[in-house]
Structure 1
Amino acid sequence: MTLLPRGQTAVADLLAKGVVIPNPGSLDVDDDVDIDRISGDGVVLHPGTRLRGAKTVISAGCVLGAETPVTVENCQLGGGVHLKGGYVANSTFLDGANLGLGAHVREGCILEEEASGAHCVGLKQTILFPFVTLGSLINFCDCLLSGGTSRSDHSEVGSSYIHFNFTPDGDKTTASLFGDVPRGVMLDQPPIFLGGQGGAVGPVHTGFGTIVGAGSILRGDVDEDGLLVLEGVHRDLRRPAAKASYRALRRVLEHNVDYLASLVALDAWYRAARRPFFDAVDLGPLVLQGALDALAAGRAERIKRLLAMIAKVPADGDPGRAQLVAAASDLPGLFDPSDAVAPVSLVASLSDAAASGLAYVDAVRALEPSVKADGTAWLTGIVSALRARSAALAPDLGLFG
C-alpha cells in the first residue's frame, strides 16, 4: 500500500486555489489547518514550508520560506507578508511585514504594516508599529516600539541589540515602552533609534526621537523627546547582592501599569479605528481577531508576571506594600478592554477612508490635525484612567504621584 505524504490532500486543494507551490511534495500541512483561511491570490509557499494550527490565516500576496524553511503555527498574516525562514507562532503580521531567515517569533507578537527584521531576530510578546525596522541577531522580547512616519523615516533597532527582560530574582515585570500608544498610532512622531551592540534593562521608557548610541546599555528612562543618550557601565562595583529587596518597587509598578494601560488603549484603537480597514479585505476580520487575541495574551502575560512579583514583595512594615499585596487579586479586572467611546470625528474619518479603498497607513497620515488630537486625547484618557484606578488600590505607595 502506498501512503501519501501528510497533508497532500490539502496541498492539492491549495494548488487548485492558485497558491504557487514550487515543490508540492515538500509542503507539510497539519490536518487542523483550514484551507479556507488561505488565500489563493499571489500566495507563494516555498519548499520546506510547514503550516500548523486551526487559527492560521494567510492573506493575498504572502510569500513564505524564500530563504530557508519556515514554520507558521496559528499565526494571522495580512496582505503581502514575507516570512523568509524560521519559526513563527501565535502572532499577527499586518500588511507588508517581513522577517529574514532564522526568525523566532513566539506568542503575543504583532508586527504592524511594513515592520521588518533582518536575519536571526527573536521576538515574544513584542509589538512593532508600522515601519519599525530591526537589524540582525536581535533579542527584543516584552516591549512595544513605536515612532516614525514612513519606510524612509522609521524607528530602528541596531544589530546585536538585546532587551534584557529577566531579573536576578526571576521576575519578568520588565516590559518596556519605546514611545507610546496615544501619540504613536498617529504615525507622525519622530523615530526612535536604539544603536547596535547595545541593550535596555527593562522596564524602561523612552520618548519619541530618542537616539541611544551604539554600545549603550540603557538602564533608566528617557522621558523627554529628542534626546541623544550614551550610557554604559561607568564604574566597578562589588557589594553583597540583595535578593528580593524591591527597592525600586514603585518604579516597576508604574511601568507595568503603563504597559498594561497601553495594551488596553491599543486594543481600543484596533476595535474602533482599525476595524473598517480589516473589514474591507478578504480574510481581514480573521486577521483583526488574531491581533485582538495577541493583545489579550499580552495583558494576561503582564498580569501574570506582575502578580508573581507582588507575591514575593516583603511588606517590611510598609503600609503601601501591605495594601499592594492585599489588593493584588483586584488587579486583573482593571485591564479588561476599555468601554471609552472613540471620538466621532476619528471613527467617521477612518470609516470613510476605508470605504473609499484608502490603505490604513495612508488614511491615518491624512487625518486632520484636530482629528488626530481628538484621537490622542481619547487614548491618553484610557491610560490615565487606568493609572488612577491602579494607584487607588494601594494609595500609600503614592503611584504616579
Structure 2
Amino acid sequence: MKNMSIDKIRKLTDKGVKFSNPETIEIGNDVDIERISGNGVKIYSGCRIFGRNTYISHNVRLGYESPLVINNCQVGPNADLKGGFLKDAVFLENASMGNGAHVREGTILEENASCAHTVGLKQTILFPFVTLGSLINFCDCLMSGGTGGKNHSEIGSSYIHFNFTPNQDKATPSLIGDVPRGVMLNQRPVFLGGQGGLVGPCRLGFGIVIAAGTVWRKDELRNSRLLMTGETKELNIPYSPGIRTSYKRIIKNNIIYIANLIALSRWYTDIRSMFVSENFPEPLLYALKENISIAVLERIEKLEVFFYKIMETTDLSLNWNKVNAYFKNLTYKGDSALREAFMGKISSAIEKKGNNYLTVIKGLENKETAMGTMWLQGIIDKITDNLLKNLTIQAC
C-alpha cells in the first residue's frame, strides 16, 4: 500500500470512516479527503478510490459484495455501491448498484434508482425509483416513469439496449418516457421484460409493457400498451453497409432526445437547485449539471458522425456548422411566465413541506405539475421544431 494511501486512510479513520480491512484499500493522490464524509461511511476490502472530483456523502457503503473501483464519482447519502467499476457518474440519495457493476461517464442514478448485479451503464439516466435487474447492458438511454418504490419503472434481467449499428455509428439513444412528465413522478411505470432488447434509437410512452423475450425495434408513443413480437422470420438477402432507409426517423429521435436532455438541464438548474441541503449538497448539484452537459455533447457528437455518413449515401444536404452553432448558442429557458410561476409553486411547497425533493414533487397538485410539464415541453418543442424545419424533416 502506498504511503499516501496510508496517510489518507488514517485521516479518514479519524473522521469516522469505517474500513473493514484498511491494508487492502488504495486512495489516489488526487483524492480530496475533505470531500469524503466521516459520518456513517463504510468501505470494505479491496476498494480503490481515485479522482479529484470524487465526493462521498454520509452513510454510504462501498464494496460490500466485492472490491469496488470508484473514480471521479459523486455519491449521495445512503447510497449502496456493492462492487465493480464506477467512473464519472452521479448517484443520488439511496441509489444502489449491485456487484459486478460497470458504470461510465454521463450516467446519473437519481433518488432510489437501483441496479442488481452485473449491469453496464454509460450515458444512462435513471429517474427516481427506476429499477434494473441483473445481467443488463443499458447504455445511451433515459428512463423515467413511476411514482414510488411500489410503482416504479423496471427492466427485467438479461436485457440489452442495442446502441451500435453495422454502419459504425452510435446515433442510437432511446427515450423511455420523457423529461417533462417524468420529472413530475406521476406517470405510469414502464416495464421492459427480461431476456429481451430494445433497438435504439427508440421512443416509448408511459405505461408501456414489453413482454419478456421481445426485441423491440419501433417507436410507440401511445401510453399503456402491451408490446410483443412473434418469432423472427429467416432472412437471407444481399446487404450493403451505409444504406439507411429510416435515417429521417433516426435524426428526429436524436434531436428529440437532445432536446429532452436540455430540458432536464434546465430542471436541474432552476428546480433542483432549490433543494440544496445536507442530503443534496452543492457538489451533487454541480455534478448533475456537469454530467447532463457531458450527455448533451456526447449526443451532438454522435449525431454529427451520423450526419456525415448519411450525406455520403443520400441526397440529404446539411450545414452541420449551423446546427452545431444552434446548440452551442442555445440559451432558451422556456416561457418565462410559466417558468417563474412554477418556480413560485415549488418555493411555496418547500416552505410548507421542507426541502425533501421527492416529498415536494410528489405532493404537487395536478394543475401545478401540468404547469411545469408545459414549461419543459415548450423548451423541447422549440428546439425540435427549429432544427427539424431547418432539415426539412416533419416534426413528430
State the TM bucket, normalised to the shorter chain.
Answer: over 0.9
Separation in 2, partners of 1:114, 1:137: 20
Partner of 1:345: 341
Partner of 1:369: 366
Partner of 1:123: 121
Asked if the contact 1:37–1:283 (Cα under 8 Å) also holds between the matched residues in 2, the reply is: no
Asked if the contact 2:77–2:279 (Cα under 8 Å) also holds between the matched residues in 1, the reply is: no
Query: Secondary structure at 2:311's aligned position in 1?
Result: coil
Give the partner amino acid of 1:299. V
Asked if the contact 1:59–1:283 (Cα under 8 Å) also holds between the matched residues in 2, the reply is: no
Query: Secondary structure at 1:174's aligned position in 2?
Result: coil
1:333 to 325, 328, 331: 325
Q: 1:221 to 1:24 in 2, by over 3 A?
A: same
Which range moves more in the overlay, 191-200 or 302-311? 302-311
Partner of 1:259: 257
Asked if the contact 2:333–2:379 (Cα under 8 Å) also holds between the matched residues in 1, the reply is: no
Asked if the contact 1:57–1:283 (Cα under 8 Å) also holds between the matched residues in 2, the reply is: no
Partner of 1:379: 376
Q: 1:72 to 1:338 in 2, by over 3 A?
A: farther
Partner of 1:204: 202
Asked if the contact 1:218–1:232 (Cα under 8 Å) also holds between the matched residues in 2, the reply is: no
Give, in angstroms, the shift of residue 317 of structure 1: 7.2
Give the partner amino acid of 2:395. F
Q: Percent of aligned pairs with the same residue?
A: 42
Separation in 2, partners of 1:77, 1:357: 22
Cα displacement string for residues 136-170 of structure 1 (whole angstroms, at most 9, x for unaligned residues): 00000000110000111000000000000000000
Partner of 2:220: 222
Asked if the contact 2:243–2:313 (Cα under 8 Å) also holds between the matched residues in 1, the reply is: no
Give, in angstroms, the shift of residue 85 of structure 1: 0.3
Give, in angstroms, the shift of residue 171 of structure 1: 0.8
Q: 1:204 to 1:233 in 2, by over 3 A?
A: farther
Query: Where does 1:99-118 land on structure 2 (aligned, <5 Å)?
Result: 99-118=97-116
Give, in angstroms, the shift of residue 283 of structure 1: 6.8
Separation in 1, partners of 2:112, 2:280: 18
Query: Secondary structure at 1:104's aligned position in 2?
Result: strand
Give, in angstroms, the shift of residue 337 of structure 1: 5.6
Give the partner amino acid of 2:220. V
Give the partner amino acid of 1:288. L
Give, in angstroms, the shift of residue 357 of structure 1: 3.1
Separation in 1, partners of 2:261, 2:231: 32
Give the partner amino acid of 2:346. L
1:357 to 354, 361, 364: 354
Cα displacement string for residues 320-348 of structure 1 (whole angstroms, at most 9, x for unaligned residues): x11x2xx2112233334643346233212
1:182 to 180, 183, 193: 180
Separation in 1, partners of 2:53, 2:173: 27
Query: Where does 1:48-197 land on structure 2 (aligned, <5 Å)?
Result: 48-197=46-195
Give the partner amino acid of 2:248. R
- Report how many residues are paired: 391
Asked if the contact 1:42–1:60 (Cα under 8 Å) also holds between the matched residues in 2, the reply is: yes
Give the partner amino acid of 1:392. K
Partner of 1:287: 284
Q: 1:272 to 1:69 in 2, by over 3 A?
A: same
Asked if the contact 1:268–1:337 (Cα under 8 Å) also holds between the matched residues in 2, the reply is: no
Separation in 2, partners of 1:265, 1:152: 27
Give the partner amino acid of 1:369. N
Query: Secondary structure at 2:34's aligned position in 1?
Result: helix
Give the partner amino acid of 1:181. V
Q: 1:354 to 1:33 in 2, by over 3 A?
A: farther
Asked if the contact 1:260–1:302 (Cα under 8 Å) also holds between the matched residues in 2, the reply is: yes
Give the partner amino acid of 2:91. F
Q: Confirm or deny that 1:296 pairs with 2:281.
A: no
Query: Secondary structure at 2:364's aligned position in 1?
Result: coil
Give, in angstroms, the shift of residue 50 of structure 1: 1.0
Q: Confirm or deny that 1:391 pairs with 2:388.
A: yes
Which range moves more in the overlay, 8-17 or 258-267? 8-17
Separation in 1, partners of 2:228, 2:162: 17
Give, in angstroms, the shift of residue 353 of structure 1: 4.1
TM-score where L is the length of structure 1: 0.94
Give, in angstroms, the shift of residue 239 of structure 1: 1.0
Asked if the contact 1:265–1:338 (Cα under 8 Å) also holds between the matched residues in 2, the reply is: no
Give, in angstroms, the shift of residue 316 of structure 1: 6.3
Give the partner amino acid of 1:387. T
Asked if the contact 1:86–1:104 (Cα under 8 Å) also holds between the matched residues in 2, the reply is: yes
Give, in angstroms, the shift of residue 249 of structure 1: 1.1
Cα displacement string for residues 243-271 of structure 1 (whole angstroms, at most 9, x for unaligned residues): 21221111000000010000000000111
Q: 1:237 to 1:357 in 2, by over 3 A?
A: same
Query: Secondary structure at 1:87's aligned position in 2?
Result: strand
Separation in 1, partners of 2:314, 2:142: 36
Query: Secondary structure at 1:9's aligned position in 2?
Result: helix
